[in-house]
Chain A
Amino acid sequence: MDDPHRLEAKGLARAKIRGKRRRVREIRRRTIRGSLALFATAWAIVFGQLVTGNDPALSRGYTTPRKLIASKHHGRPPPSAPLPAPEESAEVPAVPVEPESAPEAEFAPELETAPAPEPAPAPEPVVTSAS
């Protein structure tokens, strides 16, 4: 009934369509695989940053709203991930960071034991030696 040439053309067209569909499916599969690999890599990098204490959000001297929100609204301290050395965090603090409490504690007893500052004795020797 059908012309053999026509049948052949139909078969070719079908094969072409099938091939195209296969290619598209393969492209989709590869894109999904690539996307998952990309996500996993990014996840591993961020995780590595946190584990090694190099995470920018949790580093000392960089007060992100994350830290502020955590401490203000939930009364929780910043996460327990190890903190890097101060020189490691190159970022400029987004919000002025409160000074460390340790130095204040060190100076306080000294002020109590020696409340009266003595500015006078220092100039005295200078004056006497000069004269």
Chain B
Amino acid sequence: MIAAGAASVGPHIFWITSRAAGTAALVLSSASVGAGLLIGRRAGPGKGLGGDAKAFHEALSLATLVAIAIHGLALLGDHFLHPTLLDISIPFTGAYRPFWTGAGIVAGWALAALGLSYYARGRIGQSRWRSLHRTTAVFWILGIVHSLGSGTDAGQPWFLLVLAVSAAPALVLLLGRLIRAPAQPSISR
């Protein structure tokens, strides 16, 4: 049965890969945002774990970007949707749910730009880079919105469970940060 199923699944390999990579990107980005918020939270004390947390955050961010790239590029091989490179790279131009897919493309590009800007923070300037880097959370949320709006598995219980388990901690941390921020404006400097 599995062999027969696998044969029928053959033409959908790229489609499956894209969906799996999208799910992985969602979990990894949530973990990365959570780790980043934890680093920001621990601004002063606990220096021992700081380096490790930063390394973890960086590795998660890079893994997220790879997963996002696979998520988009895998679609190019799909014979059913058959998108062009422009469809997957320019927002709101594709035939498949243009708005939601466009939101995902915007989120993907923004996460890539903001994530990779870490390596150019010397040029950008530390404080400017930090304030830019904080907007990452907005695009992470946009990615979640994209997954719920155009994700094939958006209604599946397993997907919603994965989303809840991975995104909820980061969302709580983000809310905590937003609530704390007006009270302690000088801490981020």
Chain A contact residues, CB within 8 Å of chain B: 20, 23-24, 27-28, 31-32, 35, 38-40, 42-43, 45-47, 49-52, 55-57, 64-66, 69-70, 73-74, 76, 79-82, 90-91
Contacts and interface: CB of A to CB of B under 8 A. Distances in A.
Given A35-B28, A46-B153, A81-B9, A28 B20 contact: no
**Chain B binding surface, main DSSP class:** helix
Contacts of B136: none
List the 5 closest pairs (A to B, CB-CB), nearest first. Answer: A51-B5, A31-B59, A43-B20, A42-B20, A42-B23
Contact of A35 (B9, B15, B24, B96): B24
Interface in B3-42: 5-6, 8-9, 11-12, 15-17, 19-21, 23-24, 27-28
B96 A42 contact: no
Contacts of B80: 66, 69-70, 74, 76, 79
A56 B153 contact: yes
B72 to A, nearest CB: 15
Contact of A52 (B5, B12, B20): B5
B121 interface: no
Interface in B145-176: 152-153, 155-156, 158
Contacts of A82: 5, 8
A23 B56 CA distance: 10
Nearest to A76: B80
Given A23-B55, A27-B55, A81-B9, A51 B2 contact: yes
B56 A79 contact: no
B108 to A, nearest CB: 17
Contacts of B52: 23-24, 27
B67 A35 contact: yes
B81 interface: yes
Contact of A43 (B17, B96, B158): B17
18 contacts: A31-B59, A31-B63, A35-B24, A39-B20, A39-B21, A39-B70, A42-B19, A43-B20, A51-B9, A66-B81, A66-B96, A69-B80, A69-B95, A70-B80, A76-B80, A80-B8, A82-B5, A91-B155
Contacts of A24: 51-52, 55
B155 A38 contact: no
Nearest to A27: B55
B134 interface: no
A81 B55 contact: no
